[in-house]
Chain A
């Protein structure tokens, strides 16, 4: 494992009254860089019970998620494939880790929690509760043009569970 923070960029100059300032290293945390390079649960799930395609036409990010949901409504297995920026890849990878073994009820609560985390106007501390490792994506809040990169996989997953089709974040 390389040193956790190879990035030595300075903090950007702070404007007076700016409450929510993030540096690049808050966005590209080592966990994110690592999940981008080595996405977990990557590839096709042959015996999927649910699947959906997600596309962000602005960035060209393209994801396909696969799920196997058992009779008790529990996510037995989950995989994804596709290509996109580091934020979208890492977010999808972290999502698959977070969802394995969860119930659909838990998925809905994580979906809401994650959405609040990346769109919250606060410092995010309140929003990180219960999200575990997913909290590393909170830095995306400060980069409005990139929020959709982080949420594409979650919308795609929601579509896969609720219906089949193509999710769009526009």
Chain B
């Protein structure tokens, strides 16, 4: 399929609507992307034809559901280029993936005096689970700061990493700033001191190719709903050797091989970490989203989104009183800003009435807001179906907001 934005938009029924009498300009893709018909139909087809529980029944429907669920796992493996499906654990989303690692790996491995290093641009979901782990174990949380452009201060990494560092948690593509972090270099340095690395890839998967073997990360977490799939399903990738030695996160059905009242033998990977009936339809929708995304050249998607971002940045810079928050040299898909004299929440309401959907707030990254000295920002975030028309709607609405508050 060639990269034709009009043809792509035609596959997203939700984009073809009016909001408050204006055509919808959906620019809140970092919160969640819309879903193409292929994904919606895959979920519907599963419920209409194949719905049954997985890994249990011998009947035809259960076999079809199991086959579809496991086929989705293989698609996720291929997306991330993991070695084996044994390394692909289905979870509710990135947040649950990180919590799984913090609880299972972290509780077993960390001791008082150990250190966890995160960065100043992490989402709350890559901060709070580690704080909770520190409270349980007596470990210490340290933070790699960010500079005024919204880039990690990599020069401070060697001094923050030491023999006590057990884990480094770093976001691949920042949801608040759009910064793309040099995770491969961070992983290399972290491994040199014996630390494991978890990469928060919630934002990355829809915008760049991911290769966990090339990165050599120990854990990679991402969510389907930010890459055109459904909500409530995501993946934890972890190296098989790590998953092998990690205790289960939750107990229940499907994660066991044998249960007696005396002892329980856990199931093999990855099922050891998938207690209970999983989100089968979600996994199938995730697989459909990967297939759909795979019909495009990721380089073309990235180039299209980069053109939009460049256009948005140059138009934003022409607006007096507009301050960009996050101007990293290497960034993608996110335009975060404030406007003098107009609070982001007022802008959010005004833009909404113009049919423009953006996020106004702290983007679940309050430390980033504190770093830049703002209570909140307006964030427009782009996906492969956005066009210059969406930017026209955004910037016209911003001009109207300025006129209103003049």
Contact = CB atoms under 8 A, between A and B. Distances in A.
Interface of A: 2, 6-13, 23-25, 27-28, 33, 36-37, 58-60, 62, 83-87, 143, 145-146, 149
Instruction: Give me the 7 closest cross-chain CB pairs, A-B, nearest first.
Output: A13-B21, A85-B343, A12-B20, A60-B375, A85-B345, A12-B21, A7-B404
A146 B375 contact: no
A143 B349 CA distance: 8
- Interface bin, chain B: 20 to 34
Given A37-B341, A146-B349, A9 B400 contact: yes
Contacts of B345: 59, 84-85, 87, 146, 149
Contacts of A9: 353-354, 400
Contacts of B354: 9
B404 A87 contact: no
Interface of B: 18, 20-22, 341-346, 349-350, 353-354, 361-362, 369, 375-376, 400, 403-406
Contact of B353 (A24, A36, A60): A24
Contacts, number: 65
Given A59-B345, A60-B362, A86-B405, A24 B375 contact: no
Contact of A28 (B341, B344, B361, B404): B404
A12 B352 CA distance: 11
Nearest to B342: A86
A33 B404 contact: yes
Contact of B346 (A12, A25, A87): A87
Nearest to A9: B400
Contact of B18 (A2, A13, A62): A13
Given A60-B361, A60-B376, A6 B406 contact: yes
A110 B246 CA distance: 60
18 contacts: A9-B354, A12-B22, A13-B21, A24-B349, A24-B350, A28-B405, A33-B405, A36-B405, A58-B361, A59-B376, A60-B362, A60-B376, A83-B375, A84-B345, A84-B375, A85-B344, A86-B405, A149-B345
Among A11, A13, A85, max chain B CB count under 10 A is at A85
A86 B21 contact: no
Nearest to A30: B404
A59 B361 contact: yes
B346 A85 contact: yes
Contact of A86 (B20, B22, B346, B362): B346
A138 B281 CA distance: 45
A83 to B, nearest CB: 6
A37 B406 CA distance: 9
Contacts of A60: 361-362, 369, 375-376
Nearest to B403: A6
A83 B345 CA distance: 12
A36 B346 CA distance: 11
A2 B344 CA distance: 23
A28 B375 contact: no
